[in-house]
Amino acid sequence: MPNGKLTRLPGLADIHVHLRVPGGEHKEDFSTGTAAAIAGGFTTVLAMPNTSPPLATRETLQAIQQQAQAAALCDVHFYAGASPDHLDELPVLAQETVGLKIYADQTYGPLRIGNLATLLRCFQTWPRGKPIAMHAEGRAVAIGIGLAAAFEQRVHLCHVSRADEIALIAAAKARGLPVTCEVTPHHLFLTEADAARLGPFGDMRPRLATSADVDALWAHIDTTIDCISTDHAPHTRAEKLGPDAPPGVPGLETALPLLLTAVAEGRLTLERLIALMAHNPRRIFGLPEQPETWIEVDLDAAYTLSDEGLHTKCGWSPFSGMAVRGKVEHVKLHGALIFENGVFIHSTKRTRS
């Protein structure tokens, strides 16, 4: 039961979530992933397209939308995946998705865009004004900024994690270039020392960085950084403990408590948190309003994050053991109270493109 006074906030929007449907349902599915979202205070999530098959064709999009419709507990929207094999589908996909996701450098199966000609075709084909989100690490951030400038196209840089990257983005913004960016809680609250402690459970892309990088991100929290997104990327314990452990960590249920703790410590204001986790994500991706939707948090609730009681199918968190302050108590979604005193009381099914 909540003991403190409750504070009402807008439903949060997480613009970077891997819900694993289709093809990775043993890691997460629409039901478990969106339950984790609601428990974490997110009433809207944007799902990433690196599924199997990838979300790069209209046929796959329609099948996934139907599954989300049947099982999702919060509003789910989708990114189109830029695949060299299906570039002709982009104009159609653009009509039913919130943005295009390009994997610019690392190898992520069929969605890797490895050469300049294909990158240019993506920018030439995707409608101007609808964001292109890029997984770009290190030097590839400069490629994203260059393309934004050349094509006058809005580019959103995902999970910025290094001091050099955030400095470059700040410079691009100072020139008025149409770029936005997000950072994740794991890059704000963990360092490479945690990666050593956590082993595969602290491995993701981009990798955890130095404390100087973390400090640089915090120095830009009120200025250059537009959004906080989780990059919720669940993998099973068995996968993490096996050979070739896949990178990625879950984050939906821990992001808000971590950020509210930072508010309690005076590292950012509650108003700024709401901008980073609700207003800016909705504005950048043009997300629909959610009437009669809010969350209530107990800002005084002090507890330790734990693997116990998580809704994500993977059942673990890299943040377990960390002391936090701030807890989601109630969630109202489209007029229905669905989460009360930390428990699901009503299952509504909500989704849009």
Residues of this chain that interact with Zn ion (CB under 5 A) are 135, 231
Q: Say how far apart CA 163 and CA 344 lie, in whole Å.
A: 40
Q: Say how far apart CA 178 and CA 162 lie, in whole Å.
A: 20
In single-letter form, the type of residue at position 189 comes to F
As measured in angstroms, the least distance from the Cβ of 174 to ligand DOR is 28
Please name the residues in contact with 146: beta carbons below 8 A apart, sequence gap of 6 or more: none
For residue 43, the partner it binds in Zn ion, ligand DOR, none, with Cβ less than 5 to 8 A by kind, is none
**Residue number, nearest CB to Zn ion:** 135
Contact, 262 vs 283, CB < 8 A?
no
Radius of gyration of the chain (CA): 19
Per-residue interface string for the shown chain with ligand DOR, residues 187-206, x marking contact by CB under 6 A: -----------------xx-
* CA distance to 47, 338, 353, per residue, from 90 (Å): 17, 36, 15
For residue 296, the partner it binds in ligand DOR, Zn ion, none, with Cβ less than 5 to 8 A by kind, is none
Q: Would you say 199 or 309 has its CB closer to ligand DOR?
A: 199
Contact, 214 vs 187, CB < 8 A?
yes
Per-residue interface string for the shown chain with ligand DOR, residues 48-77, x marking contact by CB under 6 A: --x---------------------------
> What is the helix (H) or strand (E) element at residue 60, kind and residue range?
helix 58-71
User: Looking at 18, 154, 162, 332, which residue binds ligand DOR (CB under 6 A)?
Assistant: 18
Per-residue interface string for the shown chain with ligand DOR, residues 106-135, x marking contact by CB under 6 A: -----------------------------x
**Residue number, nearest CB to ligand DOR:** 248
Contact, 45 vs 17, CB < 8 A?
yes
Q: Which two tokens stand for residue 156?
A: 């959103």
Q: Would you say 231 or 329 has its CB closer to Zn ion?
A: 231
Residue 210 CB coordination number (10 Å)? 13
Span of 3-11, 211-219, 241-249, 275-283 interacting with ligand DOR by CB under 6 A: 241-249
* Residue count of the chain: 353
Which residue in 161, 166, 177 sits closest to 224, CA to CA? 166
As measured in angstroms, the least distance from the Cβ of 318 to ligand DOR is 11
DSSP 159: S
Q: Would you say 145 or 338 has its CB closer to Zn ion?
A: 145
As measured in angstroms, the least distance from the Cβ of 121 to ligand DOR is 22
Q: Number of residues in contact with ligand DOR, rule: CB under 6 A?
A: 9
Should residue 46 be labelled a site residue for ligand DOR when binding is judged by CB under 6 A?
no
Point out which residues bind ligand DOR (CB under 6 A): 18, 50, 135, 204-205, 233, 246-248
